[in-house]
Each structure stands twice: as C-alpha cells, then as structure tokens.
Amino acid sequence: MDHLAEFLFSLIASIALIASLFIFHKFWAKTAKTYWVRIIVGSWLLVGEIWFLVTKDIFVFKLADGTPNPMFMYWELCAILTVTAIILMVVPSKLNLDLFLPFAILAPIIVIVVPTADTKSWGFDNFRYWNYYFGHLGLMFAYLYTYLFGYTKAKLSWQSIRRSAAFAFFLSTFLMVWNMAYVPNGHSPLEPAPAGEDLNKWWGPNYLYKFLMYYLGMGRFSLLNQYFMMIFVLMPVILIFSWTLLYFLRPMYANCGAERLKFDIHENILGFKTIFTKDNFKQTSKSLLNKITVSGKKPPLDKN
C-alpha cells in the first residue's frame, strides 16, 4: 500500500483522540464549560469545507478551458455532515444530534478505516490528506464531544430513533434526486453503467452513495437500484448498528460538563437490576395469566 505511514498516522491519531474523550473525561468536561474547543473544531471544519469548495470549483459549471467541470454541484453525505457539525459547534441542539449523530459516528469510521485509490496517493505534504482524514475526524469529534458532555439532553430514545429513521429516508431520497439531476453527458440514471466504464466519468463524482456502493460492488447498478438497495437493505443495517452503538455509548456529563452522570453497567446497560428482578417476574407472570384467563372466559349472554 502506498503511503502506509500516512494511513497509520491518521488511524492511530483518530483512535487516540476519540479514546481520550473517555480516558481523560474530566479534562474534556472542564473544557465543555468554555468555548475554545468548539471554536477550534468549528473553525477547522469551516476552513476545510471552504478550501474544498474553492479548489474544486464546485459552483463553476465550466472550467477555464471551456470544458464542463466534473465537480460541478458535488454534494455527498460527509459534506452535509460537515456543514451540520459547524452549525452544532455554534448552536448545539438536541434535534441536530437526533437527526445526524448515527451518521456522524459511522460515516467517518468507514472513511478513516477504508483506504481508497485517492487516499493511497496522498502524502503528508498534500493538504488534501489533512483535509480528508482530519476533517472527517473533526466532524465525528464534534458530535461525540457535544453528545457526551451534556451540551444538550440528547440520548437514545424512541423519539430519537423515529427522528433518525425518518430523516434517513428523507436524506437518501434527497441525494438520489440530487445526483440524478447532475448525471453528466446525458447518461440515463435508470440504466446501469456499461462494463469497463469509469464510474466517476459515467455517473459523475457525485453519483448516488458513491463511496459505499462502489466498494460493495454495486457502483454499476442504475442510480434507482442503488437507491432501493440503500433504503431497504443498507440503511436499516446502518441505523441498527448505530442505534446499538449509541445504546452502550451514553452521555457522561450533563449541563456542559458541570454534572457527572451516575453510571452503572448492570442497571444502565444490561438492565439486570430493573428488568430481571423477582418482583418484575411476578408482575409479568400475573399480568400474562390474567390475560389468558380473561380471554378464555365466555362473554355473558344477553338476556334481552
């Protein structure tokens, strides 16, 4: 693998930074009472996003030589997450965490762990390397930092599950429609890409779920088929995995690091003390027995 040192450095740095949130939680709890962490992270994300938009001429339809810009109106999930992470650093909100937290955890993990043809060619002297790896790490850190140290009252609940599920369907549909509108050269998004074609040229750089579908071997599917695969197969798997992770990954502090939340693995995670108790077992058995006996009784005859 080319540039193995760069890949290992970003991987080790990512693990170390995220682990520090749990190992040095007292330090991070103190910073949560100030603004400097949010300012640094938000500024880094903003600089990286502006640099990417400017250098890639995202809003320029044609390049200086008159050829169509292949990056025109490039828009993907991580770009959306970067924008929402910047907003989160300015205005932390429960709604933002409920909608985006499952994606803000999983998407950067995939990006950082799985190398691509592009990332294998980047060295330490290439700003894109720092923008790519540490931009994704920054957005994951932004969401976890806000979530773990009590900037909001966000936590895994039926409300957050419903919100993230509904928003996942909306976001998948939005990206499908957006990317279909910007397929280059008049290629039909309803037809699969021919064998041997470069998918970046055929679908454009922003074809639906580019990174995930390509590495799962489904990049040649029509965009409509990719959409159906996403909402009916991949998105449920992604959400269930993220919800499971969030079930174990709970906020450690409340009120911006001012209050340490009590944590008991048996009560809070495994639920042994609150579910598997003798009284609960008796109550459940009694309720179940009453339902069986009541349903087995014949209704009284109508004397009239």
What's the pLDDT score for residue 195?
Answer: 83
What's the pLDDT score for residue 254?
Answer: 92
Residue 123, sorted as left (phi over 0), alpha (psi -120 to 50) or beta, turns out to be beta
Which of these, 45, 37, 56, 41, lies nearest to 78 by C-alpha position?
A: 45
Q: How many CA atoms lie within 13 A of 155 on its CB side?
A: 13
Does residue 199 carry a pLDDT above 80?
no
User: What rounded mean pLDDT belongs to the chain?
Assistant: 84
Which of these, 217, 187, 221, lies nearest to 202 by C-alpha position?
A: 187
**Confidence bin at 131 (pLDDT 50/70/90):** very high
Residue 69, sorted as left (phi over 0), alpha (psi -120 to 50) or beta, turns out to be beta
Contacts of 177 (CB under 8 A, 6+ apart): none
Mean pLDDT of 221-236: 87
Q: Residues 216, 218, 223, 225: what is their CA dihedral angle, to the nearest 10 degrees?
A: -110
Does residue 209 carry a pLDDT above 80?
no
Contacts of 54 (CB under 8 A, 6+ apart): none
Higher pLDDT, 206 or 192: 192
Separation of alpha carbons 271 and 268, rounded Å = 6
What's the angle, vertex CA 91, arms to CA 90 and CA 93, rounded to 5? 145
**Which range among 7-21, 35-49, 233-247, 275-289 shows the weakest confidence by mean pLDDT?**
275-289
Does residue 193 carry a pLDDT above 90?
no
In the numeric block, which tokens belong to residue 160? Answer: 């957050």
**Confidence bin at 267 (pLDDT 50/70/90):** low
Does residue 205 carry a pLDDT above 50?
yes
Q: What is the pTM of this model?
A: 0.82
